[in-house]
Structure 1
């Protein structure tokens, strides 16, 4: 089982109603994206991280490692936004020329990059809150209750299952190659990697067919039925969700009023 799935099962938020967790995470993420406010984004990031780590009791080091995964993509993205072509020195923080092209970082571009950085991290923290507290098949059950098309839900479930088939196949082939010194030199590594990729498709396809045959032997008719647990709904949690969303909107509105007065 993948480590994120393990964390979802051991989370102290595991028994909380998945519909409430789903609505809280998705609504908070949408509000964060729509408001496009740095203070709101930082608030969401801290709030979701605190709930996931302290309330869900997810190890802090593990959470930091997971949050650092998208940083490489974010850093590349914000650099390209912060540094772009400039035509004047107004509000220019620093600049340089490459092949007669003037590049630089202005106050506006830096603010935009900072806003995007925190908004992206806050959105990731919302998704991690849901992922690290709710097993994926409970998320699929919530989508089913929300009348999401059945085909979409079944595709998500099957793709999720086959990800593990793919990872297991890669692991077995790699161990077999490595035990025969297939990665002892750079040349052998490239050769082994090419063979791994070519055989991966064939092996994965065969295993997927075997899994499908096993599902049909268990009367699979195109509908994946799961045993769903019954979780009690809490009016207190629903009230807290509403208060949180309203507070985020009020924070953004308050900052907007302050900027108008300045």
Structure 2
């Protein structure tokens, strides 16, 4: 399992103000989502890859391994979007198709363009979130949300859910290792059976650990807010200028693309 929290505490951008990193990640992500342009989405992916592997010094193998998870998931999703089903028959714009009993199933040029754009947009948004999670510890993001006056309930739920994700991943890995050592995945039949047992056991353990966590918090005087100490940071004017230049360049490029001056 990849230790995302470990990289968040040891990366080269650790001492950068978390508000600066959050601003860079979210402004870029909103631009990627707001401008429905594959070129902008591609630029965002490249930009975040450079920021993660370059200034943050995250190993490139770790980055590609992380990106492979949403890549495979999104690829399956956009394939279904690219396929069109109609009863009007194939006509202009169809690249390939087959008609059975009056129903045509195939791929159109517009469907492929839309699927590629959605794929790049989703991957760009995920890369922005990876940048933030790999460079900023969850404790500091909690402090940022408090400064931005987010609702306390939202902050606490976000923090607890984030922590619990890693607890569940570690538990699932332990169960999977135990099953593998007993040839639980030696065949397709065994794999399906072991996967079902893993899911059931993980649900029970998740319920038990959530109850234990609540008991532990209550015994320490939990009143609905997790108070933590965070380091003091200094806002860097240079970083703000760099962020402004990058976002301005992306905005200008997007506007020129939409107006037809580029491409």
Aligned match for 1:110, one of 112, 118, 123: 112
Counterparts of 1:34-49 in structure 2 under 5 Å?
A: 34-49=34-49
Task: Find the aligned partners of 1:177 and 1:36 in 2 and give their Cα distance.
Answer: 45
Aligned in 2, Cα 1:133/1:100: closer, same or farther, shift over 3 Å? same
User: 1:5 corresponds to which residue?
Assistant: 5
User: 2:98 corresponds to which residue?
Assistant: 96
Indicate conservation of the 8 Å contact 2:179/2:185, yes or no: no
User: 1:20 corresponds to which residue?
Assistant: 20
Counterparts of 1:165-244 in structure 2 under 5 Å?
A: 165-171=167-173, 181=182, 183=184, 196-244=198-246
* Worse-matched range after superposition: 222-231 or 3-12: 3-12
Aligned in 2, Cα 1:164/1:63: closer, same or farther, shift over 3 Å? closer
Aligned in 2, Cα 1:178/1:82: closer, same or farther, shift over 3 Å? closer
Correspondence 1:69 to 2:64: no
Indicate conservation of the 8 Å contact 2:81/2:115, yes or no: yes
Task: Find the aligned partners of 1:15 and 1:215 in 2 and give their Cα distance.
Answer: 30
- Any idea what the Cα deviations from partners look like across 1:185-241, whole Å, max 9, x if unmatched? 766666665555545444443433333333233222221001111111012211222
Q: Using the TM superposition, give the Cα deviation of residue 142 of structure 1 relative to its aligned residue in structure 2, in angstroms.
A: 1.1
Aligned in 2, Cα 1:257/1:59: closer, same or farther, shift over 3 Å? same
Q: Using the TM superposition, give the Cα deviation of residue 72 of structure 1 relative to its aligned residue in structure 2, in angstroms.
A: 2.1
User: 2:257 corresponds to which residue?
Assistant: 255
Aligned in 2, Cα 1:199/1:98: closer, same or farther, shift over 3 Å? same
Indicate conservation of the 8 Å contact 2:185/2:194, yes or no: no
* Worse-matched range after superposition: 147-156 or 81-90: 81-90
Q: Using the TM superposition, give the Cα deviation of residue 162 of structure 1 relative to its aligned residue in structure 2, in angstroms.
A: 2.8
Give the number of aligned pairs. Answer: 260
TM-score between both structures, scaled by the size of structure 2: 0.86
Q: Where in structure 1 are there 5+ consecutive unaligned residues?
A: none
Matched position secondary structure for 2:221: coil
Aligned in 2, Cα 1:250/1:192: closer, same or farther, shift over 3 Å? closer
C-alpha RMSD of matched pairs (Å): 2.7
